[in-house]
Amino acid sequence: MASYKITLIPGDGIGPEVTAAAVKVLEATGVGFEWETVDAGETAVRQYGTPLPEIVLESLKKNKVGLKGPVTTPIGTGFRSVNVALRMTLDLYACVRPARSIAGEGTRYENIDLVVVREATEGPYSGVEHWVDRDHSAAETINIITRKNSERIVRYAFEYAKKEGRKKVTAVHKANIMKCTGGLFQEAAQKVAESYPEIEFEERLIDNMCMQLVKKPNNYDIIVTTNLFGDIISDLTAGLAGGLGIAPGSNIGDELALFEPVHGSAPKYAGKDKVNPVAEILSGEMMLKHLGENEAAEHVWKAVCAVIEEKKVVTYDLALPGYTTRPVKPSKLSEMADAIAKKVEKM
Ligand code: NAD
């Protein structure tokens, strides 16, 4: 039986709990895994004096595949984002975030099936910013957009559409205002689209896209966009499909792939055995597909859907009014993970 060596980054806050849940479910598939656990974020700062120790990068470069929990990034001051550093250092340029309705009742909208493909190595996240004057009364951020990386991400979106049998790619930008950066991304998208006549292509301005998504989400399929817009819009699509608790994601490069949920480390819930483990579990499902373990991935998806549909063992976020019409007593994170793992084992 194949055994995969995977880099496991438990992360901060709720990270260790949700990654433990995902490991349990992935192991229940019967696929063999050898986990190489390495710390990043606040945990690593305490141990190594840096949020991204070399050992994390070395492990990922060696194993080529990783499963990651969320990592805290201090706001305003403190260390730079570990996520941004990982994506840039390892050239994990495509942040792929599917938003799928899981069970009719557990979602704001039924039949949501969107994928956000976010460029993850440039834009304002390049970290080139400075104070304009000595008394810090003005600041400037440089938004770097390159033709090479814009074409690369749009091509990734079209190739993904081809592989997954998807029908349409929508490129999202703000070329009316940001004539150079937005215009360049728009031009790159139009050029790449010409090579894929079999897939429908359209463009939207970011503001209009947000409104359209809330009004008519089913008109869209794959959305490809720059770093900042993709960051924001993937939280929006996660909300449409049922919330951050069920929104998985991946960071893909030509050589490496790192799977992680859209949500952050939710520090106020850390250690409470309370949050929804599904986003991390479905990030694991995406990892199984990446490894070619399609049957195991299908089992995980079906088990997650069944547990959410039954509404017997779901965490607080899926037991809230608005997500269910039935009174549901919220279960613990570990109970929901156990229920999913048990179903997977039986398949
Ligand atoms: P967050 O996603 O951590 O939490 C926002 C809210 O979403 C939570 O308070 C909770 O109500 C809900 N939520 C999140 N995950 C959930 C889950 N699994 N189940 C149920 N509900 C869930 O966002 P934040 O509070 O803005 O950020 C906290 C920290 O996480 C920050 O330091 C931020 O930088 C970091 N962050 C990390 C990543 C990452 O590592 N990829 C992504 C986003 C944010």
Residue 317 annotated to the active site: no
Residue 125 annotated to the active site: yes
Q: Is 43 left (phi over 0), alpha (psi -120 to 50) or beta?
A: alpha
Per-residue pLDDT of 242-290, as tens digits, reads 889 999 999 999 999 999 999 999 999 999 999 999 999 999 999 999 9
Q: Regarding predicted confidence, which is higher, 325 or 155?
A: 155
Residue of 244, 258, 272, 333 to mutate, ligand 1, most atoms within 8 A of C-beta? 244
Cα 13 to ligand 1 centre (Å): 9
Q: Which atom of ligand 1 is found nearest the CA of 277?
A: 18
Nearest of 206, 201, 274 to residue 236 by alpha carbon:
206
Instruction: Please say if the pLDDT value at position 179 is more than 90.
Output: yes
Distance, CA of 279 to CA of 65 (rounded, Å): 18
Residue 126 CA, chain-centre distance (Å), reads 19
Q: Which atom of ligand 1 is found nearest the CA of 249?
A: 41
* Average pLDDT score, the chain: 93
Cα 177 to ligand 1 centre (Å): 31
Nearest of 88, 22, 55, 102 to residue 287 by alpha carbon:
22
Measuring from atom 11 of ligand 1, which residue has the nearest CA?
266
Residues 263 and 244 sit within 8 Å (Cβ to Cβ): yes
Instruction: Please say if the pLDDT value at position 46 is more than 90.
Output: no
Q: Which residues pair with 344 in a beta bridge?
A: none
Token output for 3:
């055994």
pLDDT at 125: 85
pLDDT at 104: 56
The active-site residue, picked from 231, 235, 317, 338, is: 231
pLDDT at 128: 84
Token pair 């440039």 in the structure block, residue: 122
Residue 342 annotated to the active site: no
Instruction: Please say if the pLDDT value at position 215 is more than 70.
Output: yes
The active-site residue, picked from 174, 274, 311, 343, is: 174
Distance, CA of 149 to CA of 123 (rounded, Å): 10
Distance, CA of 56 to CA of 46 (rounded, Å): 15
pLDDT at 250: 97
Average pLDDT over residues 140-154: 96
Residue of 12, 92, 265, 320 to mutate, ligand 1, most atoms within 8 A of C-beta? 265
The active-site residue, picked from 93, 125, 156, 323, is: 125
Instruction: Please say if the pLDDT value at position 80 is more than 80.
Output: no
Cα 276 to ligand 1 centre (Å): 11
Any residues with Cβ below 6 Å from ligand 1, and which?
A: 70-73, 83, 244-245, 260, 263-266, 275-276, 279, 317
Residues 280 and 245 sit within 8 Å (Cβ to Cβ): no
Instruction: Please say if the pLDDT value at position 175 is more than 70.
Output: yes
Residue 231 annotated to the active site: yes
**What is the percentage of the chain residues whose pLDDT exceeds 70?**
95
Q: Give pairs for 319-326: CB < 8 Å, separation 24+.
A: 322/108, 323/105, 323/106, 323/107, 323/242, 323/243, 324/105, 324/106, 325/105
Instruction: Please say if the pLDDT value at position 105 is more than 60.
Output: no
Measuring from atom 4 of ligand 1, which residue has the nearest CA?
266
Average pLDDT over residues 184-207: 98
Average pLDDT over residues 229-243: 93
The active-site residue, picked from 162, 179, 207, 272, is: 207
**What is the percentage of the chain residues whose pLDDT exceeds 90?**
81
pTM of the shown model: 0.95
Number of Cβ within 10 Å of residue 334's Cβ equals: 15
pLDDT at 101: 86
